[in-house]
Amino acid sequence: MEKKGLAAWIERLDGGEGVVLTSILTELNELTSSDETSANQLAEVILKDASLTTQILKVANTVHFNPTGSPITTVSRSILTIGFNTIKNICITIKVLETILQGKPSTRLFEIMADAIHAATQARNICVKMSADGKEEVFVATLLLHLAEMLVLSSGEPEVAELYEHYETCETDRDRDRAAEKVLGVSFKRLGIALVKNWRLGSVLQESLQPSSKMSRKADAVLIGEEVSQASKKGWDSAEMKALIKKISAFTNSGIKDVENLVREGANEAAEVAANYGSDVLVAMIPATRSVEAKNDQNKEEIGLLQPDPALQLQILQELTSMMMEGVDMNSLFQAILEGLHRGVGLERVCLAIFDKGRESLSAKYVLGEGTETWREKFKFNFVKSRSGFLFQLFSKGKPAWVGGGSDKELTAALTPDYIAVTGVREFMIAPIKANKKLVGFLYADLGESKRPLSETYFSGFKHFSAQINMSLAVIANKG
């Protein structure tokens, strides 16, 4: 007999898809929009997940976010165009959908997800005077309000079938909570509160699950958003919705007519969100006031070994030129260049190392790819000002090199064990980076994850992007 109760279910969910979901939720929630570095870190989180990268680019190129129709080919540009907070929301929505709706989800799971997207959109929209960070917090808390039920129903555990039998006589969340208490030995509400605490999913979500007479404005918005998603099912002109419109009017200090337009447009926006993720079922379950169709992507990116993509390389190089002309900050340009090397050229691990203030050592400033998680701490090398020194030779040659292959035999011979100790490979590509004539650092790339050999195709792409970074620095130096 399966174990019942709170502790047993926490243990089960900790060992299943729940822990995969919460790891990326925690990683995303720990990022703040307080500086440019966080935008770079957000890009790194997204680019570690091939399906997430594909979905973000797909959403970024929709008419809603990209009305000009100019192709957006990099995650870095997507963050700049759409905004840090919105991209975080999109990432969280994608990962929740991916986790909950995998396999053959039940009608109830679709219903919960449709309600969650609708409620989250409405909750965010009524926070008219709140900061961008506050709106994001409200959106995520509302989206995850029924996380416990979603995870249990998608867990595949044997009790789920019995739970669905009880659901046949359940009409409200309270009824379903009672059914969960009977079958699982714990209500969804208690399980949800425990998950929020264990997985540190935020105070707003915890407060929303434990409503009181002294609620914060954020938690109030969460619960109002939830009410809208439920009342809308009874009709936009129902008595429940009319009462709720008055409540929102007081909450937002807006007129009744403005609030009516706000919530109806919120339903359309929620349907658009569901459509962007390609689910006709979710779209149909959201009471939009205009027709919305799911945008199914028949050519989803296959997850596997990275391969050179010449067309994508060209698109990203063109996008980099546009970013440079628009005066985009250097952090975003650097991140986009690394993304071009990674996704376009197909290089698995890429890094931009920068000189310290004393110009005595160089360390990783920007990294991308599996296996680079510790490089910001470990990827650090002294600059030995000697003709036999590896970096001295690299900077003296002043051009990209293919170490361990090609014709760069002298540089290969100068390679010391300290490089191999950090990267684990003897074959890689490296290029000096300059701002006009002043040395800034070097660009590094390899196939260190799969340990495949490099080729002329990779080296050609690497040279294009190293030239781009030097050109970008020269333009910025001349402007200064």
Contacts of 226 (CB under 8 A, 6+ apart): 115, 119, 123, 142, 145
Give the tokens for residue 185.
Answer: 């030995």
Average per-residue pLDDT for the chain: 87
344: DSSP letter: I
What's the chain's Rg over C-alpha atoms? 26
Tens-digit pLDDT profile for residues 96-123: 888 888 777 888 899 999 999 999 999 9
- In degrees and rounded to multiples of 5, residue 34 shows phi and psi of -75, -20
Instruction: Tell me the pLDDT band of 331, cut-offs 50, 70 and 90.
Output: confident
> CA 87 to CA 56: how far, in whole Å?
8
The angle subtended at Cα 83 by Cα 78 and Cα 88, nearest 5°, is 85
- pLDDT for position 298: 42
188 has a pLDDT exceeding 70: yes
Q: Residue 114 carries which side chain, given as an amino acid letter?
A: A
Instruction: Report in angstroms the alpha-carbon separations of 108 from 100, 152, 235, 455.
Output: 11, 12, 20, 51
The DSSP bridge partners found for residue 368 are 350
Q: Residue 412 carries which side chain, given as an amino acid letter?
A: T
Tens-digit pLDDT profile for residues 357-413: 888 999 999 999 988 988 988 999 999 888 888 999 999 999 999 998 877 888 888
Q: Where are the beta strands (DSSP E) in 292-446?
A: 349-355, 361-368, 380-382, 401-403, 428-435, 438-446
CB burial string 323-355: b at 16+ within 10 A, e below = bbeeebeebbbbbbbbbbbbbbbbbbbbbbbeb
Say what angle helices 17-29 and 6-14 make with each other, to 10 degrees: 80
Q: Which strand (E) or helix (H) includes residue 325?
A: helix 310-325
Domains, the chain, ordered by start = 6-285 (1.10.3210.10), 310-479 (3.30.450.40)
Do residues 446 and 347 touch, judged by C-beta distance below 8 A?
A: yes
2 has a pLDDT exceeding 70: no
Tens-digit pLDDT profile for residues 63-100: 778 888 888 999 999 998 888 888 888 888 888 888 88
207 has a pLDDT exceeding 60: yes
- Mean pLDDT is highest, among 9-23, 194-208, 263-277, 333-347, for 333-347
> CA 286 to CA 233: how far, in whole Å?
8
Do residues 377 and 353 touch, judged by C-beta distance below 8 A?
A: no
